[in-house]
Amino acid sequence: MSLESILSKFTKAETNLLEILLQYQETKTDHAITEAEVGQIAAYLGVTETKVASVISFYTLLSMKPKGRYVIQVCKNIPCFVNEQTAITRTLEKILGIHAGETTANNLFTLEYTSCLGCCDNAPAMRIDGKIYANLTPDKVKAIISEYRGRSS
Amino acid sequence: MVNLRINNRELAVAEGSTILEAARTNNIKIPTLCHYPDLGIQSDCRICVVEIEGQKGLATSCSTIVRDGMVVKTNSPRVLNARKTITELILANHDANCTACPKNLSCELQSLANKLGIDENRFQSVLTLSPLDEGNPALIRNPNRCIKCGRCVDVCKNIQGVGVLELMGRSHHLKIVPAFDHCLSDLFCTYCGQCAAVCPVGAITEKDDTDIVWRALNHHDKHVIVQVAPAIRVSLAEEANMNPGTVCTGKIVTALKLLGFDQVFDTDFTADLTIIEEGNELIHRLTSGGVLPMMTSCCPGWINFAEQHYPEILPHISSCKSPQQMFGALAKTYYAEKMGLEPANVFVVSIMPCTAKKYEAGRKEMRANEDLPDVDVVLTTRELGKMLRQMGIDFANLAETPFDDPFGITTGAAAIFGASGGVMEAALRTVYEVVNGEPLTNLDFTDVRGLDGVKETVVKLAEKPYRFAVANNLKNARLMAEAVKAGTSPYAFIEVMCCPGGCIGGGGQPYGTITKTRLDRIKATYQVDAAMPIRKSHENPAIAKLYQEYLDRPLGEQSHNLLHTHYHARRGKPNN
Amino acid sequence: MIEMRLVSKRCGIINPLSIDDYQKADGYETFRKALARDKIKLIEEIEKSALRGRGGAGFPVHLKIMGLAKETGPVKYVICNADEGEPGNFKDRYLMENDPHAIIEGMLITAYMASATKGFIYIRGEYNHAYNTLEWAIAEARRLKLLGDAILDTEFSFDIELRSGGGSYVCGEEFALIESIEGKPGRTRVKPPFPTQKGLYGLPTLINNVETFATIPLIIKMGGKAYARIGTKSSTGTKLISLSGNVNEKGVFEIPFGVTIRQVIEELGHGVANGRKLKMVQLGGACGPIIPEYMLDMMIDFERFEEFESKTGAGAIIVIDDRFDIFDILMNVVGFFEHESCGKCTPCREGHQQLRIILQKFIDKTAGVKDLVSLESLARVMHQTSLCGLGQTSPTAIISTLRYFRDDYIDRMDSLIL
Ligand SMILES: Cc1cc2nc3c(=O)[nH]c(=O)nc-3n(C[C@H](O)[C@H](O)[C@H](O)COP(=O)(O)O)c2cc1C
Ligand code: SF4
Ligand code: SF4
Ligand code: SF4
Ligand code: FES
């Protein structure tokens, strides 16, 4: 969906800013909002670009830095941490060839950490573009990644 | 009244006061850092914590309202330890190279650390250096000194309604920056300098140009002259620790001579000239169906704001240059000719209450001679204060000297330019008498004086009542601009000043300016006016002589070339 | 069996996507009956039940509802706090995904009691499934005129809007949440005024936790007095517990207050996984205390938890076995808060990284007595002076381990360093 059509769903009220940003970023394959788009949103709502940028900078689900097609978020809080999460991260880093916070050279995957996903009863857990994967083992992780790799080819 | 106990003293204070206010009115000292009297309560720094009996944690005194029977301790060991710890935390993430900082000895963090007796820091430095933002002629942002108090954000967003700066990111990655980490010059900053005026540390300061002035003063081929803006004479004394509102006109002249300036002139003279040109422009617009309402043009912060945010209304803005630039234009033409000097050898320094004037002086439009700025350097009140200290001048005990000629005779009308409403009042004194052909019975237009954000008056010109308005600070300027843009503004003429209270509250004025300081400076301003032998610009004989000798007539060709300018829409960012 | 399924009784039994299922299980009946009752009488039932908030702080619920009811003015808000960002807590997700209508019904009754006009459910951005479930449930409720204008043809109007968070733990704090709904960064405001006086858009606002709302229909149905007979004197009723970490059986369990932590771990969690030994338990989530094995006979009860001065009351129990030492856990906890601090106030913004630096010295065995003192003092200053609950409670793990695991610190110190 274009930015215009998303904007047109909202009244020109400052209070819609976060919703607009979340909804619009959802439509972007690189999971990021550009400076020009910030300008467009600011103009629509009649607020400063600084204001829009400050909201993006605060929320971890929003970004101005382009990411890979699939964003893999691994939970590393205590319930996952004590349930072999580090092995999961190590596996991901190895098969993707990147560290947390980085994007693969083919722009397919970005690996990052997330705060608790509320799946502590099925720890360790991760989320890929909104979909939760839980009770992970290194083997499961490998299978999930190859499935995503297959999807894009 | 509320009764409470602070440090074992029984006190009765006004209902709704904060603990901090209660303490301060009773001479009990509680240190603060983020708190600034005229701004909203941030309660971010947590330095002002106190202990309240029955409460587990510590409470910030700047935000806690007193209650009957409250028992407060402001200096318990727990409180002192907390303040010390917090200050150490700040210092561990601060570029504390004090002697290399413009705020050395006027820094609130430095003085806090000193008061708390901090001599070593238990915490390891976690400072990671960021580049400075110095890509503009007015201000320097040094993020390495920022303590994230939020004052600048508050002033820019909530007082000025501009919103260039915001809190970006979170945790210790938090930064106070314009969007996208850009420079001020990339956004829509007006260079009003209000952020610099309230910054407790050296994280936003004016660009220091004193070196250039020292160099010029030591350069023997240069004829270095200086002009002093109206608002300086009621504020510079504060730089020498004298009371706000001390009038020090004569001492300024003496001091500037001691610094080595060849001639010391008064910007009041070109303020009078502005009134003649601008008054005539108004009369012309009123009588010839010109664009109305007309808006003033003396304030460069306002011009920057209008050019970037309201390009549609530029035709409403008077084409007159500001008094600073009228002076500059005359200095490098009329004055140079009169003195038989090469314009290139005349070096013009301005002492201004303002950081935006630094930007204005650099504008391409402000050149009577190609490639030669009319005003070479602008110094703020604070920078002049610094030069006086560098030279060891005992300002308080200086003798008084009058300003030099040929710009020596000025009027009370010009003197009040520094206070919000002053330009309007000066213009009305002249326009009324010129249009109505009769003398005013009362020169004081008190309706337009004072600190109210928007002030109004009605004056009859040729039997017809016209409405006049005065707005100060950019939030109110925006209100005016919106109405003008929408075509609903009921006024004939609007004065706009970008800083709260006008130039007496300018971004380059001595630190610590609060409402009380503004009121003191305003009071002094009107005292200067009342004491002047001539109080109307059109009665200034030196101005008449200037027209005779050089300019011919108001709005004439020579005036047009030297004293008027034009404005452009710039990369304006929509921002309502 | 120590479980007592009251609030969660329908979870896993009914189809959460079917409003009919919910109504067949007596759902919305309490609300229908409440509409004919006196509002103050209803609030009195809540008062008699002595219900305390289930989001962690345990504030008496009737006081807030009464506070909102007393506010005049045409617009008043009721917000359901479904931000559940505290690591180790997943009971709100469980309720939202399994019994969404109970939450809606609780909000409806509350709104009716306090004459509120508009509701919001603020769900953390990571909870896609819970969001979708609630979105559907709200639509269904609207279809049956249980939400919207003139509900069930009475004069009562109330509607609920869903809002998604943007990935920020602190947005669970009341004012941060309000700021976030207003579209701004989630940085808290100075209190007072409290939300019930000046909340969302400056108007009176009540904020309660998901579980709190889900409990309200139950109380109105069974009567406050009967509810208060469950649990302990200072903590009435039941509590959902999120049990996680190194136990055999993880999950959400509902128990009456007064059960001990050991009972939960052993009877519901079937003990520590893989036959290992328990090293420590973190209560409440990352912001909670870390306690040793010998304290497990502590009752789950607000009064007992209060001595830790943290939001322990949200009901998470994270079991950690002896493969981990306290510094593994502390570094993780501090790292979490370092990431989540909103950056507004000094102690929290600057404090976490300094805590981390000092902890690292213990890990490197280069810490001296001075470091122990600095750590303790910094943790306490952060606790005492931070602006919001995040910075006030984040040092709890450190403060509690300094108390219960002091030897672990001493072991990691270099005796030659002062
Ligand atoms: C940092 C922080 C995070 C919080 N997160 C939540 C949360 O996710 N869910 C919640 O219900 N309460 C949370 N709270 C507590 C709320 O501020 C508030 O006390 C609660 O929503 C009130 O509801 P209750 O009385 O029903 O518990 C949090 C508090 C703090 C300080
Ligand atoms: S100079 Fe004025 S407009 Fe620019 S950032 Fe500072 S306060 Fe804002
Ligand atoms: S720049 Fe100055 S005023 Fe602005 S937040 Fe930093 S320290 Fe405060
Ligand atoms: S305690 Fe932390 S999260 Fe709360 S206001 Fe302060 S910096 Fe923000
Ligand atoms: S002065 Fe009170 S918190 Fe900063």
Q: How far is B33 from chain A (nearest CA, A)?
A: 24
pLDDT digits (tens, 9 = 90+) for B191-210: 999 999 999 999 999 999 99
| DSSP-assigned states of every residue in B139-161 | EEE-GGG-----HHHHIIIIIS-
pLDDT digits (tens, 9 = 90+) for A34-62: 999 999 999 999 999 999 999 999 999 99
CB contact under 8 A, C340 and B49: no
Domains of chain B, by residue range, sit at 2-75, 101-206, 211-563
Chain A CB contacts of B168 under 8 Å are 53-54, 57
Q: How far is C201 from chain B (nearest CA, A)?
A: 17
Domain B211-563: which topology? Rossmann fold (3.40.50)
Task: Mutate one of C92, C241, C244 to test the A interface: name it (highest A CB count within 10 A).
Answer: C244
CB contact under 8 A, A57 and B178: no
Q: How far is the CA of B177 from the centre of ligand 3 (A)?
A: 10
> Percent of chain A at pLDDT above 90?
95
Residue B171 bears catalytic tag: no
So what's the pLDDT on residue B495? 98
Option in B166, B574, B576 nearest A50 (CB): B166
Domains and CATH numbers, chain C: 19-228 (3.40.50.11540), 238-321 (3.10.20.600), 326-411 (1.20.1440.230)
Decide if pLDDT at B397 tops 80: yes
Q: How far is C96 from chain A (nearest CA, A)?
A: 12
Largest CA distance in chain C: 79
Number of cross-chain residue pairs from A and B with Cβ atoms under 8 Å apart: 50
Per-residue pLDDT of chain C (418 residues; tens, 9 = 90+): 799 999 999 999 999 999 999 999 999 999 999 999 999 999 999 999 999 999 998 999 999 999 999 999 999 999 999 999 999 999 999 999 999 999 999 999 999 999 999 999 999 999 999 999 999 999 999 999 999 999 999 999 999 999 999 999 999 999 999 999 999 999 999 988 999 999 999 999 999 999 999 999 999 999 999 999 999 999 999 999 999 999 999 999 999 999 999 999 999 999 999 999 999 999 999 999 999 999 999 999 999 888 887 777 899 999 999 999 999 999 999 999 999 999 999 999 999 999 999 999 999 999 999 999 999 999 999 999 999 999 999 999 999 999 999 999 999 998 777 6
CB contact under 8 A, C87 and A122: no
* Minimal-distance CA residue to ligand 1 atom 10: C55
Q: Is the CB of residue B188 less than 8 Å away from at least one CB of chain A?
A: yes
Substitution candidate for ligand 4 out of C340, C348, C354 with most atoms within 8 A of CB = C348
Option in A55, A76, A115 nearest C185 (CB): A55
Which residues of C have a CB under 8 Å from any CB of B?
A: 168, 185, 187, 190, 192, 309, 338-347, 349-354, 357, 370, 374, 377-378, 381, 383-387, 392
Atom nearest to C382 CA in ligand 4: 1
* Minimal-distance CA residue to ligand 5 atom 3: B43
Residue B360 bears catalytic tag: yes
So what's the pLDDT on residue A46? 94
Is the CB of B155 within 6 Å of ligand 2? Answer: yes
Q: Chains touching chain C at 3 or more Cβ pairs under 8 angstroms?
A: A, B
DSSP 3-state of C316: strand
Residue B157 bears catalytic tag: no
- Cα separations in angstroms, C319 against A80, A82, B182, C292: 11, 9, 47, 10
**B572 pLDDT tier (thresholds 50, 70, 90):** very low
Q: Is the CB of residue B524 less than 8 Å away from at least one CB of chain A?
A: no
Which region, left, alpha or beta, applies to residue B514 given φ > 0 means left and ψ of -120 to 50 means alpha?
A: beta
**B186 pLDDT tier (thresholds 50, 70, 90):** confident
Unique residue bearing structure tokens 């409250």: B70
Which residues 312-341 of C have a C-beta within 8 angstroms of A? 316, 318, 320-321, 323-324, 328-329, 332-333, 336, 339-340
| CATH class as words, domain B2-75 | alpha beta
Atom nearest to B165 CA in ligand 2: 5
- pLDDT mean over B64-93: 97
B424 or B575, which is more confident? B424
Decide if pLDDT at B347 tops 90: yes
Residue B88 bears catalytic tag: no
Q: How far is the CA of C394 from the centre of ligand 1 (A)?
A: 14
Q: How far is B163 from chain C (nearest CA, A)?
A: 14
Q: Is the CB of residue B353 less than 8 Å away from at least one CB of chain A?
A: no
Q: Which tokens is C282 given?
A: 């973190």
So what's the pLDDT on residue B571? 66
| DSSP-assigned states of every residue in C339-406 | HH--S-SHHHHHHHHHHHHHHHHHHTT-B-HHHHHHHHHHHHHHHHH-SSHHHHHTTHHHHHHHHH-H
Q: Chains touching chain B at 3 or more Cβ pairs under 8 angstroms?
A: A, C
Q: Which of B148, B207, B332, B357 is catalytic?
A: B357
Mean pLDDT taken over chain B = 95
Residue B357 bears catalytic tag: yes
Q: How far is C85 from chain A (nearest CA, A)?
A: 6
| Protein residues whose CB sits closer than 6 Å to any atom of ligand 3 | B 146-152, 176, 198-201, 203-204
Q: Which of B239, B277, B360, B383 is catalytic?
A: B360
Residue B35: what residue type? H
Q: Model-level pTM greater than 0.90?
A: yes
Is the CB of C388 within 6 Å of ligand 1? Answer: yes
CB B281 within 8 Å of CB B294:
yes
Q: Is the CB of residue C53 less than 8 Å away from at least one CB of chain A?
A: no
Chain A CB contacts of C167 under 8 Å are 59-62, 114-115
**B574 pLDDT tier (thresholds 50, 70, 90):** very low
pLDDT digits (tens, 9 = 90+) for A104-132: 999 999 999 998 999 999 999 999 988 99
> Percent of chain B at pLDDT above 90?
95
ipTM of the complex as predicted: 0.95
Q: Which tokens is B195 given?
A: 């952020």
- pLDDT mean over A89-103: 96
| Protein residues whose CB sits closer than 6 Å to any atom of ligand 4 | C 170, 188, 341-345, 348-349, 386-388, 390-391
Substitution candidate for ligand 3 out of B142, B201, B205 with most atoms within 8 A of CB = B201
Option in A46, A57, A58 nearest B576 (CB): A46
Residue B2: what residue type? V
So what's the pLDDT on residue B573? 40
User: Which has the closest alpha carbon to B103: B147, B164, B37, B159?
Assistant: B147
Is the CB of B33 within 6 Å of ligand 5? Answer: yes
Is there a cis peptide before residue C217, judged by omega within 30 degrees of 0?
no
CB contact under 8 A, C384 and B45: no
pLDDT digits (tens, 9 = 90+) for B232-273: 999 999 999 999 999 999 999 999 999 999 999 999 999 999
List, in order, residues 6 or more apart from A140 with CB less than 8 Å away. Answer: A133
Within 10 angstroms of residue C131's Cβ, the number of other Cβ atoms is: 22
CB A55 within 8 Å of CB A17:
yes
Q: Classify burial at A138, counting beta carbons within 10 Å of its beta carbon; exposed 0-12, middle 13-18, buried 19 or more.
A: middle
Q: How far is the CA of C109 from the centre of ligand 5 (A)?
A: 41
d(CA B351, CA B335): 19
Report the b/e string of B539-563 with b at 16+ CB within 10 A. Answer: bbebbeebbeebbeebbeeebeebb
CATH 3.30.70.20 fits B101-206, yes or no: yes
Decide if pLDDT at B218 tops 80: yes
So what's the pLDDT on residue B187? 86
d(CA B546, CA B410): 13
Q: Is the CB of residue B201 less than 8 Å away from at least one CB of chain C?
A: no
Q: How far is the CA of B469 from the centre of ligand 4 (A)?
A: 44
